[in-house]
Amino acid sequence: MATLRRVTVLGATGSVGCSTLDVISRHPERYQVLALSGHSNLTRLAQQCATHRPVYAVVPDQQAAIQLTAALSLLSPHTEVLAGPEALQRVAALPECDIVMAAIVGAAGLAPTLAAAQAGKTLLLANKESLVVGGALLMQAVRAGGATLLPIDSEHNAIFQCLPAATDDRAGVTSVLLTASGGPCRTLSAAELQAVTPEQACAHPNWSMGRKISVDSATLMNKGLELIEACWLFDLRPSDIEVVVHPQSVIHSMVRYADGSVLAQLGEPDMRTPIAYGLAWPERIDAGVQPLDFSTLQALTFEAPDMDRFPCLRLAAEAFEAGETAPAILNAANEEAVAAFLEHRIGFMDIPRINAAVLDQVAAVAVRDLPSLLAMDEQARQSARTLINAVE
Ligand SMILES: NC(=O)C1=CN([C@@H]2O[C@H](COP(=O)(O)OP(=O)(O)OC[C@H]3O[C@@H](n4cnc5c(N)ncnc54)[C@H](OP(=O)(O)O)[C@@H]3O)[C@@H](O)[C@H]2O)C=CC1
Ligand SMILES: CC(=O)[C@@H](O)[C@H](O)COP(=O)(O)O
Ligand SMILES: [Mn+2]
């Protein structure tokens, strides 16, 4: 019989958070929800608390805490409501917590993800921006804390599944093939890309996801962030990684070996597969996902990414090679630019333009610690906001 493991879900109200709770609810004998966090969607968080009865629920501030406490007085009166960023770190590091799902979007997820790593948790990492911003700090915290880091991002989960199990047995690996759907704008001309709306950019052909990552998919910044994420997770350089556009999102990534073999992981485009893999690792459990039906599968096709129409992918590779805080600067610029685009304040192609300009304007420095990294993040955001205001 499996032992019961207690799970903290950071970003429970989002797309990955909801999929995580769906998988957990299929295995009540294996998982118990210890803590949930939400940010703006208190209605959904209250419903999740009513269903999963966590010991703790975390919200951004006191006002939200008063609101959620009132909502939970009947729905889940034993749930203790905590407020603020420090509370996120607290529930990520609780001694009674076994597994932390890091599913907050953006750099806001870095501090609690670091806290989980430092506390030696089994860390299921969906929040790719944590690695992009603080890769050196996070990998060091995983080593120092003795955490088990399991990639949940679908491509990295696929690579993890296709690599040899032992980290000192990578000699036969010649490269990693990171697949990209190409996003909803894959076939648009340079002129058409100028007029892409938030609604178009968020209409991903295969995946249902939050709005920020959906826009990143459309600009190929998601693939750029994932390139950096793969470099940190698997100790690679960008030149070790081949980005392959595969519009059907059936193959989730591949690993190439010296003997000519290529190992791939395939599945329906449903995040519950990598989430279930992370929750049960090294075992396998039902994720509620339909098996791939090879009798109805369409052709699987492949093409090269177009770095001219989608410059964000190149910017990310260059930022990783530049090192120091360059990836954090790029990430901060991108978060600000995507938010402005979603508010119809700038155009789609202003996103790569602003990202490149901020990388030029803000000088990268050595990564020291979390406070200096967050100060650099704020400086890059200020620079991006000035550029955004100039567009309006
Ligand atoms: N969606 C997907 O399929 C995949 C996502 N990922 C990565 O996983 C992460 C989550 O993505 P996704 O679920 O799509 O995103 P969503 O936007 O759907 O959810 C984000 C979650 O973070 C919370 N949140 C937002 N801002 C803050 C903040 N400042 N402080 C604390 N919490 C905050 C949100 O709360 P609220 O909603 O209550 O405001 C929500 O719970 C991202 O890093 C993404 O790149 C990776 C692979 C696939
Ligand atoms: C589900 C997931 O992992 C997303 O990152 C998804 O892969 C986006 O796909 P593209 O960025 O390839 O469009
Ligand atoms: Mn992905």
Confidence (pLDDT) at 171:
86
Across the range 266-289, mean pLDDT stands at 98
Which residues crowd ion ligand 3, with CB under 5 Å? 153-155
In the structure encoding, which two tokens stand for residue 164, read together? 């040899």
Asked if residue 368 has pLDDT above 90, the reply is: yes
C-alpha 269/C-alpha 267 separation (Å) is 6
Q: Residue 123: which of 132, 104, 107 has the closest Cα? A: 104
Q: Does 103 contact ligand 1 (Cβ within 6 A)?
A: yes
C-alpha 110/C-alpha 327 separation (Å) is 14
Question: Which residue's CA lies nearest to atom 11 of ligand 2?
Answer: 217
- pLDDT tens column, 63-78: 999 999 999 999 999 9
CA dihedral 90, 93, 98, 104 (to 10 degrees): 70
Question: Which residue's CA lies nearest to atom 48 of ligand 1?
Answer: 153
Asked if residue 90 has pLDDT above 80, the reply is: yes
Question: Which residue's CA lies nearest to atom 12 of ligand 2?
Answer: 180
Q: Does 19 appear as a known binding residue? A: no
Q: Does 41 appear as a known binding residue? A: yes
Across the range 374-381, mean pLDDT stands at 98
Confidence (pLDDT) at 2:
83
Ligand 1: atom nearest CA of 208 is 3
- pLDDT tens column, 152-200: 999 999 999 999 987 777 889 999 999 999 999 999 999 999 999 999 9
C-alpha 331/C-alpha 275 separation (Å) is 24
Q: Does 14 contact ligand 1 (Cβ within 6 A)?
A: yes
Question: Which residue's CA lies nearest to atom 41 of ligand 1?
Answer: 11
C-alpha 173/C-alpha 185 separation (Å) is 33
Ligand nearest to the CA of 89: 1
C-alpha 370/C-alpha 148 separation (Å) is 21
- pLDDT tens column, 101-139: 999 999 999 999 999 999 999 999 999 999 999 999 999
What domains sit in the chain, N to C, each tagged with a CATH number? 5-151 (3.40.50.720), 154-317 (no CATH), 323-391 (1.10.1740.10)
pLDDT above 70 as % of the chain = 100
